[in-house]
Homo-oligomer: A and B are copies of this chain.
């Protein structure tokens, strides 16, 4: 019989976790995924309480990811989870992901994919060996207007691309809040967050978005990184000159200390014939600016959009969809691909439109390269 609902297990995301709750909302909105089990905290007591709050069956609230993966793999196929969603701090991504793959489970991972580039490469190798699906939640590229932007580039509306400006200013780390905020604490802690705070947490989103829309790879970087807040252990601001394939140029600027900014990811791409502009805080609008014609305002939900852009919305134009819906697009596409695999059919192109292990590895390489450039007195560091 054909499977309809996909069963998800979750690692991390216990009480008070921010991103775990977002993942559950994203998985829940479209009614196609069921949370069936979890190892929601590294603290077994908290894991249990969190599972109960989510009405999980008692016997599928696990004290840790190892037990979850082993026990689930022993359940009959009509019961056991289909994939595992891993929403722990960066340092705790690799182990559950690898174990899940080894036990035949598809995997969905928060970005950045791993703690080190080496871990990423190991995961990528394992995915290639097993043929399992691995998805990394580069959420912002899942907005419908990003699909449209990519399509406009592909259709040649911009001509050759010359310049990409991507910026991601946030202000929430303008003071030393890591002493109070658990969210801030692990992100700015080299033992849990990794090499980088600003570039690892948000710069990597910006880089992914630039490459996703433009179809061009970054080939070199020149980074100026700073730690502005006294007592902070990782960088909280960075400006990066970019070189792309095809001789395109660009700037990536990210900050966690841009006081007064919320989550103002913005991208502009200029080609020979036109320019594109998109702001995450007004995500349903995409500007296409022509050289000698009136600029056009593309809007989510309109029927003139490309099929992929339309596929990634739920509502008619003017009914704003937001961050959770973008996140849900990844879950919906990924779970549809998982479903196709299970049912023995070929996933469509739209189902496969989610960030993969290759994107995850590339993101890790971006972080390592940009941190190296920040420490170099050379202008350019190859990527």
Contacts and interface: CB of A to CB of B under 8 A. Distances in A.
Interface of A: 4-5, 18, 21-22, 24-25, 28-31, 35, 53-55, 158, 162-163, 165, 167, 169-172, 174-175, 222, 224, 226, 228, 237, 239, 241, 243, 247, 249-251, 253, 255, 257-264, 268, 270-275, 280-284, 288-299, 301-304, 314-325, 376-380
Contact of A322 (B31, B171, B319): B319
The number of times this chain is found in the oligomer is 4
A273 B259 contact: yes
B288 A294 contact: yes
B35 A31 contact: yes
26 contacts: A18-B316, A22-B315, A31-B35, A162-B226, A163-B257, A169-B268, A170-B318, A174-B272, A222-B379, A241-B241, A255-B270, A259-B270, A259-B290, A260-B274, A261-B270, A263-B316, A263-B319, A280-B318, A293-B304, A295-B299, A319-B322, A320-B323, A322-B325, A324-B324, A376-B379, A378-B379
Contacts of A54: 31
A382 B270 CA distance: 30
Contacts of A171: 270, 275, 289, 291
A263 B317 contact: yes
Given A253-B165, A259-B270, A324 B314 contact: yes
